Amino acid sequence: MSEFTDKIVRVRTRPYYQSSRAQLYLGDCFHLLSRTLPESIDMIFADPPYFLSNDGITCQGGKMVSVNKASWDQGANWRQKHEFNRRWIRRCRKVLTGNGSIWISGTLHNIYSIGMALEQEGFKIINNITWQKTNPPPNLACRCFTHSTETILWAQKNDKKSKHLFHYDLMKEMNQGKQMKDVWTGSLTKPSEKTEGKHPTQKPEYLLERILLASTDENMLILDPFCGSGTTGAVALRLGRRFIGFDNVEEYLEISKKRLIKAES
């Protein structure tokens, strides 16, 4: 039995994949979060569905293509989106330790609901990070400004006793001795990070690297309830953290598994 299964059984169900420092589970994160031990996770990164697959068009590699990513990303009305966000954020709060923190990424399609849901479910927002993309796809309809940013909210439990971890000095050092600001600029995910398979909304590794270095220590346990291609897990393992990931699409968990194996080797 691995160190992970011996000492830290955090999710009471059979993993899809496990190693000594990581576990992946195939299934609905609502169910899996309810099977996770309360207050057992040090940090959560979540990149939930943005609900932007609305039959519009976008540009990819110079070609006009549908914006539709997948059925899990299809539009819902604001009530349905908000109810969805409140439910998974409520479950995340239960599994997070008292001093733990949560990072959630989104766009205008879901981030206002996420911000409100965080406050309604007992979180306090610490930062509003703007990820500025240096190479966004052009706006083909020419009816509004080119969308070139995403938002990442960072929050902690809204509880007087909660003290979130922030490696201020390290962030300053990584920013040439100046305080790190809340606008992070960089490119879309590089093809070299997609060698294990393609996911329609894969995040670049440099974002996760900064997030993990800023708010976690080595050996801490990180959970990603919508892990997709496993970006959070691959970076977590490379940085000596431990990882649990959930996704309800087996094809994506296979990519995650390959990336975790590569990161551990």
Site string for ligand SAM, 86-125 (x = CB under 6 A): ----------------------------------------
- Residue 138: DSSP 8-state: P
**Cβ closer to ligand SAM: 31 or 172?**
31
Q: Is 249 in the site for ligand SAM (CB under 6 A)?
A: yes
Q: Is 231 in the site for ligand SAM (CB under 6 A)?
A: yes
Nearest distance from residue 116's CB to ligand SAM, in Å? Answer: 20
Site string for ligand SAM, 52-91 (x = CB under 6 A): --------------------x-------------------
Q: Is 248 in the site for ligand SAM (CB under 6 A)?
A: yes
Nearest distance from residue 238's CB to ligand SAM, in Å? Answer: 14
Q: Judged by CB under 6 A, how many residues of this single chain contact ligand SAM?
A: 18
Using CB positions, name the residue nearest to ligand SAM. 228
- Residue 216: both structure tokens together: 């976690």
CA distances from 73 to 24, 54, 146, 189, 196 (A): 21, 9, 21, 19, 22
Nearest distance from residue 25's CB to ligand SAM, in Å? Answer: 9
- What values do phi and psi take at 24, rounded to 5? -120, 140
| Whether the Cβ atoms of residue 203 and residue 47 lie closer than 8 Å to each other | yes
| Whether the Cβ atoms of residue 132 and residue 148 lie closer than 8 Å to each other | yes
Tell which residue, 159, 260, 154, has the closest CA to residue 210. Answer: 154
Q: Is 49 in the site for ligand SAM (CB under 6 A)?
A: yes
Query: Could you say which of 4, 16, 103, 252 contacts ligand SAM (CB under 6 A)?
Result: 252
Burial zone of 177 (CB within 10 Å; 0-12 exposed, 13-18 middle, 19+ buried): exposed
Nearest distance from residue 1's CB to ligand SAM, in Å? Answer: 27
**Cβ closer to ligand SAM: 247 or 254?**
247
Site string for ligand SAM, 185-224 (x = CB under 6 A): --------------x-xxx---------------------
Tell which residue, 73, 84, 81, 92, has the closest CA to residue 201. Answer: 73
- What values do phi and psi take at 198, rounded to 5? -105, 135
Q: In 112-134, which positions are buried (b, 16+ CB within 10 angstroms) versus exposed (e)?
A: ebbbebbeebebebbeebebebe
Sites of contact with ligand SAM (CB under 6 A): 28-29, 47, 49, 72, 199, 201-203, 226, 228-229, 231, 246-249, 252
